[in-house]
């Protein structure tokens, strides 16, 4: 372990603060907004099972690898990869993996901020009584009115980006650490409350069956259109989506975990921290599903209704439940907090690199990076209204959908694949053994086998399947 190098950005005050911060990075809209609706789109239980396997067999080993590189390099992902590669005698080209991660995080933030703006808008809808006694039809109208208004989306996108800049400009302890230690415990409390409500008032049994009954015929059957006239086809797309979401929800391949790893104390256990982070992140995703699907079924809504699922199903529940005004307001506030804790981790790698490379003041760099992400986010906001037509689409996708697909399903898994290859073949076993400090040799050997063989092969096979190369080779 490199004791001489220190992070110029500061350190987490303790191992537990790092765990909370990393959970804050991982837990966000991906768990509460995205996981429920993609589970609905890809058939429920079978997709959940594949997703959990991706977390265990691919996500956890690669998260450990990212943290150890970050801690050993004590710098932004770009410079950490450069420093560690140089120390281990590997090619300097490995620093391109850091560049890819920083770029991916930046692109994600540019559309993530728009979705977080939806939650901000709903906070004020709830405060103003707009969700009181709302019907399913009215809930749909509220959401359509929001996403159909360029002015509203740009306004809330701007507000959320200012919130993000305000935190990261204050540094590691005064900004990032102080924010996540308040926001994350509150989010867990509210999620448990919402699951309790779904159990009492929703169709909980049907929600549980939908999430945990495994039917692989549904996994590979991708359907579109209304329930009474759906067009279904056999596709391996859900495999890529499950893999991509595992990376998205754990903040892998986007530089965030590696950047946070640079601030981890030397004495902290990377293995224990990783398991705690992945466990908490997965728990939030499952709780979100258990809170939302019973309400969806009880309200007669479609679980495959897409990105608006959260913003159409929960308002119906809040509008009819006792104390719904207060619970609705608080839930959307906490949803904003979850997005907030993730957004600061998305922009942190770029800020850290600019501070290290240019020597600029952190507040100046945070403002510059935030403005650039805001400008990129304009295209995401307009993708739901003015630029939603086919003439503005690329490869049949809006600019929002294209950025989401490229980052979640291509850049993040590819970044994870390269991280695994760097640890196993670029840096080597000795460096990983020293940095992880795993006392049980069998545990280290298991991780080494996963990071050297299982994780890279699994990611590569999914990429091959999706691009149709396996069919061309006669393998599938």
Q: 61-65, 174-178, 210-214, 242-246: which has the minimum mean pLDDT?
A: 174-178
- Percentage of the chain beyond pLDDT 90 is 31
Is 84 exposed, middle or buried, given 0-12, 13-18 or 19+ CB atoms closer than 10 A?
buried
Contact predicate 263/14, CB 8 Å: no
Count of C-beta atoms within a 10 Å radius of residue 472:
10
Using pLDDT thresholds of 50, 70 and 90, give the confidence band for residue 469.
very low
pLDDT tens-digit readout, 160-201? 999 999 888 887 666 677 777 777 888 888 888 888 888 887
Concatenating the DSSP letter of every residue in 108-157 gives: HHHHHHHHHHHHHHHHHHHHTTTTTT--HHHHHHHHHHHHT-HHHHHHHH
The pLDDT score that the predictor gives to residue 206 is 92
The structural domains of the chain, ordered by start, are 15-473 (1.20.1740)
pTM score, whole prediction? 0.85
31 three-state secondary structure: helix
Which is higher by pLDDT, 6 or 148? 148
User: Which residues, other chains included, contact 78 with Cβ-Cβ below 8 Å and sequence gap of 6+?
Assistant: 95, 98, 99, 102, 349, 353
pLDDT tens-digit readout, 438-468? 778 888 999 999 999 999 988 887 777 655 5
The pLDDT score that the predictor gives to residue 172 is 66
The pLDDT score that the predictor gives to residue 224 is 58
Q: What is the mean pLDDT of residues 139-146?
A: 89
Q: Is the pLDDT reported for residue 76 higher than 70?
A: yes
- Percentage of the chain beyond pLDDT 70 is 89
Distance CA(376)–CA(218), nearest Å, equals 36
Q: Is the pLDDT reported for residue 78 higher than 50?
A: yes
pLDDT tens-digit readout, 212-230? 888 877 776 666 555 555 5
Q: What is the mean pLDDT of residues 49-60?
A: 91
pLDDT tens-digit readout, 117-139? 999 999 999 898 888 888 878 88
The pLDDT score that the predictor gives to residue 228 is 54
The pLDDT score that the predictor gives to residue 299 is 74
The pLDDT score that the predictor gives to residue 467 is 55
Kindly give the residue spans of alpha helices, DSSP state H, lying in 169-308. Answer: 178-201, 204-212, 216-219, 237-249, 256-261, 270-298
Contact predicate 226/35, CB 8 Å: no
Using pLDDT thresholds of 50, 70 and 90, give the confidence band for residue 372.
very high
Contact predicate 427/82, CB 8 Å: no
Using pLDDT thresholds of 50, 70 and 90, give the confidence band for residue 470.
very low
Rounded mean pLDDT of the chain?
84
The pLDDT score that the predictor gives to residue 181 is 79
> SS3 breakdown of the chain: % helix, strand, coil, rounded to 5?
80, 0, 20
231-234 and 221-224 as β-strands: parallel, antiparallel, unpaired? antiparallel
């Amino acid at each position: 372990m490199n004791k001489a190098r220190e992070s110029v950005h500061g350190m987490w005050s303790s191992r537990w603060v790092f765990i909370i911060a990393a959970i804050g990075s991982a837990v966000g809209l991906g768990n509460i907004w995205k996981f429920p609706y993609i589970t609905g789109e890809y058939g429920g239980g079978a997709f959940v099972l594949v997703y959990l396997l991706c977390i265990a067999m691919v996500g956890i080993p690669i998260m450990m690898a990212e943290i150890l590189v970050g801690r050993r390099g004590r710098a932004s992902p770009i410079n950490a990869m450069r420093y560690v590669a140089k120390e281990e005698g590997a090619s300097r080209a490995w620093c391109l993996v850091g560049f890819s991660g920083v770029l991916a995080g930046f692109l994600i933030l540019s559309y993530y901020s728009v979705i977080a703006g939806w939650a901000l808008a709903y906070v004020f809808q709830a405060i103003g009584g707009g969700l009181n006694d709302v019907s399913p039809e009215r809930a749909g109208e509220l959401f359509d009115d929001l996403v159909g208004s360029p002015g509203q989306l740009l306004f809330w996108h701007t507000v959320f980006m200012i919130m993000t800049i305000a935190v990261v400009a204050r540094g590691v302890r005064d900004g990032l650490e102080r924010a996540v230690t308040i926001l994350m415990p509150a989010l867990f409390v509210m999620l448990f409350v919402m699951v309790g409500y779904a159990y009492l008032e929703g169709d909980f049994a049907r929600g549980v069956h939908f999430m945990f009954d495994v039917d692989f015929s549904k996994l590979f059957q991708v359907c579109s259109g209304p329930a009474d006239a759906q067009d279904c086809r056999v596709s391996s797309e859900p495999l890529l989506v499950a893999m991509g979401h595992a990376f998205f929800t754990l903040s892998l391949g986007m530089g965030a975990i590696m950047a946070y790893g640079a601030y981890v104390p030397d004495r902290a256990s990377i293995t224990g921290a990783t398991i705690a982070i992945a466990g908490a992140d997965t728990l939030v995703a499952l709780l979100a599903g258990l809170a939302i699907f019973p309400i969806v079924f009880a309200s007669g809504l479609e679980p495959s209704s897409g990105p608006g699922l959260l913003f159409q199903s929960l308002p119906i529940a809040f509008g009819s439940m006792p104390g719904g005004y207060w619970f609705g307001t608080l839930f959307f506030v906490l949803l904003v907090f979850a997005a907030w804790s993730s957004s600061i981790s998305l922009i942190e790698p770029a800020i850290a690199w600019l501070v290290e490379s240019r020597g600029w003041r952190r507040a100046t760099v945070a403002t510059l990076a935030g403005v650039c992400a805001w400008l990129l986010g304009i295209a995401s906001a307009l993708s739901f209204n003015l630029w939603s037509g086919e003439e503005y689409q690329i490869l049949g996708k809006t600019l929002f959908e294209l950025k989401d697909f490229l980052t979640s399903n291509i850049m993040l898994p590819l970044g994870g694949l390269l991280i695994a290859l760097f640890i196993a073949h670029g840096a080597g076993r000795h460096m990983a053994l020293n940095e992880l400090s795993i006392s049980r040799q069998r545990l280290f050997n298991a991780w080494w086998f996963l990071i050297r063989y299982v994780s890279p092969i699994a990611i590569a096979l999914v990429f091959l399947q999706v691009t149709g190369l396996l069919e061309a080779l006669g393998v599938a």
